[in-house]
Amino acid sequence: MPDRMNFSWHTRLLLALSSGAALALSFPNFNLPLLAWISIGLLVLASFRARLAVAPLYGLLHALVFYPLCLPWIDVVVQQFGGVGPWTSAGLVALIAVAGGVICAVFSWSVALASRRGAWIAFALAPCLWVAVEFLRAHLPIIAFPWNLAGYAASGNLPLVQLTTVTGIYGLSFLVAAYGSLVGYALLCGRQRAWKSVLALTAVLIFVAVGGRYLVPSDTPRFTAHLVQTDFAQAYDYPADWIQVHARDLDELAQISVDAARRIPGLIVWPESPAPFSLQDPAFAARARQIAQVSGSDFLVGAEDWKRDRAGKLVATNSAVLLNPSGERIFTYDKIHLVPFGEYVPLRRWLGFTGKLTADLGDFAPGSVYAVGALPEGRFGSFICYEAVFPDAVRRFTAGGAELLINISNDGWFGRSAAPAQHLMMARVRAVENRRWLLRDTNNGYTVSVDPYGRIAAQLSTDIRGELDAPYDFRTDQTLYVRMGDWFPWLCVLVSILGVATTAAKPGWQKNLWDAGDSSSGTASGPDG
């Protein structure tokens, strides 16, 4: 066992870089999810018994590969719609990678520290540490970015994703990290018992993943909604006469909406505003009222909504607005989680280096209430675009009484990059966590209906203008995750703190803090033994 612990520094670098690549390749558009199950184990191996002064480097390297490889669309979006040059956009991607790297560095340093008390302690603690750092990613001020958490790589499996009704997505992340950690431990120690544990866990996972899908129940919907995909080309800015110029397009969308509701009576939904739609604009307001009145249906539409804040200043919000069949506005939800550098520029005063991005992007004001609306058959919560990646935010709608979830989004910003598929992957998990039907309406795809167990019940083709007859229903039951929230990641945070603190309290640990390894185990090997 000591010989296997004796990694050279270049082996550790290779392990760290490979872990970032393996995790990135697990997500769309690479779609190699099995790689996620070993990715975190590779990072644990890179960090095991590393010098504490160098161990954070391995977490940083993991992130410097992971983020640019699975999020290249950020660079394209910022260049195309932020009006900035390639160096500035690349700098923003690098900033995201470095910020994520700092968090991963905490993970690798903690594993290195825990490994000084024994191999099994480090590898047993690693899954809790991983969930803790993912939870931190989701709750950073301003730059919280819980995109592509490790658990999403396993979420495509119908039986496994049901775990999220208890733990949220973090339970799947724990499972993925625990499997990789066990494989890493078996590779490190080479003991037959460890490999038997790996084989046993693998067999259980395969049995659940394959056989369990026959045990996942189905949900028979009673209602049909009409999700209208507007398919407007994404633009950098919009002229003042945009509504007039696109009158024919709006006429077509109105006809599509009315015809669908007359054929099958039901709710009409338009996506997050892909254009300057505002009910304060008399021309658009008249169109919206007419759609509701002529169709005789409730009409939920994404719009820019203007109102005065507490100081009396006129501000814009990114909102979902419901009109009843009489054309009266009866519900509004204002988006709470705005996209940094997309819907507002944080720390604008200090970020002059972003040039045209900060000069030309307007700011939305965030909402503050997880409002729940009412339809004749039941209550719904409508979250907007980027909010789909925040598990606790969506959970608040269900906890507040929502019996149906509606996600309106404009993924036109992303083109046909990996981002729309990644966004859908995360939104589907929200349906399972909350055990609710999810209606997801987008500007150009993916427009879908997802059942409470994560199946896509209906889907519209991408990049077309059209309408999806989307089945749905209302449910009143509450999952453990809805009732208790993020209890599982908080438990992992607690275990991680106690584990690291216990290791740090080991008598004499300070003496070896910056040494190559635990000299008593004979593992020192150059700068990173």
Read off the tokens for 150.
Answer: 């490790």
The C-alpha atoms of residue 136 and residue 110 are separated, in whole angstroms, by: 15
Q: Is the pLDDT of residue 330 over 90?
A: yes
Compare 327 and 273 and report the one with higher pLDDT: 327
Q: Taking residues 80-98, what's their average pLDDT? A: 76
The listed range with the strongest mean pLDDT (4-13, 271-280, 480-489) is 480-489
Residue 105 has pLDDT above 80, yes or no: yes
Residues 290-308: what's their mean pLDDT?
Answer: 95
Confidence band of 9 (pLDDT split at 50, 70, 90): confident
- CB atoms closer than 10 angstroms to residue 198: 16
Q: Look at residue 200 and tell me whether its pLDDT is greater than 60.
A: yes
Q: How far is 67 from 99, CA to CA, in rounded Å?
A: 10
Q: Which of 70, 104, 134, 335 is catalytic?
A: 335
| C-beta atoms surrounding 369 within 10 Å | 11
Pairing of strands 378-384, 466-472: unpaired
Q: Tell me, letter by letter, the H, E, C secondary structure of 200-248.
A: HHHHHHHHHHHHHHHCCCCCCCCEEEEEEECCCCCCCCCCCCHHHHCHH
pTM attached to this predicted model: 0.91
Per-residue pLDDT band at 362 (split at 50, 70, 90) = low
State the sign of the Cα–Cα–Cα–Cα dihedral 12, 7, 35, 433.
Answer: negative
The Cα–Cα gap between 244 and 106 comes to 54
With 70 as the cut, is the pLDDT of residue 24 above it? yes
Give the whole-angstrom CA distance, residue 377 versus residue 224. 12
pLDDT of res. 469: 98
Contact 255, 249 (CB under 8 A): no
- Look up 385 and say whether it is catalytic: yes
Task: Tell which residue, 251, 261, 253, has the closest CA to residue 226.
Answer: 261
Of 101-115, 418-432, 452-466, 501-515, minimum mean pLDDT range: 501-515
- Domain residue spans of the chain: 2-215+483-506, 223-474
* Per-residue model confidence (pLDDT) at position 5: 59
Active site residue: 134, 272, 387, 433, which one? 272
Q: What DSSP character marks residue 407?
A: E
Decide: 422 and 147 in contact? Cβ < 8 Å: yes
Per-residue pLDDT band for 151 (boundaries 50, 70, 90) equals very high
Name the least confident of 22-26, 269-273, 359-363, 453-457: 359-363
**pLDDT value, residue 385:** 94
Chain centroid to Cα 414, Å, comes to: 15
Q: Which residues contact 126 (CB under 8 A, 6 or more apart)?
A: 40, 44, 107, 111, 114, 177, 178, 181
Q: State the pLDDT at residue 320.
A: 97
141 pLDDT band (50/70/90 cuts)? Answer: confident
pLDDT over threshold 50, residue 240: yes
Side chain identity, residue 437: W
Give the pLDDT band of residue 312 (cuts 50, 70, 90): confident
The reply to whether 335 belongs to the active site is yes
| Residue 511 annotated among the catalytic residues of the structure | no
Q: Which of 81-95, 175-189, 332-346 has the lowest mean pLDDT?
A: 81-95
Cβ pair 123, 182 in contact under 8 A: yes
Residue 103 · residue 110 · CB < 8 Å: no
Task: Tell the burial category of 437 from Cβ atoms under 10 Å away from its Cβ (0-12, 13-18, 19+).
Answer: buried
Does the pLDDT of residue 11 top 80, yes or no?
A: yes
Q: What percent of the chain has pLDDT over 70?
A: 89
Cα angle, residue 54 at apex, residues 49 and 59 outer, rounded to 5°: 85
User: If pLDDT is split at 50, 70 and 90, which confidence band does 237 have?
Assistant: confident
pLDDT digits (tens, 9 = 90+) for 47-74: 999 999 999 999 999 999 999 999 888 8
CATH number of 223-474: 3.60.110.10
Catalytic residue selected from 70, 104, 128, 385 = 385
Q: Would you say the C-alpha torsion 286, 462, 25, 452 has a positive or negative sign? A: positive
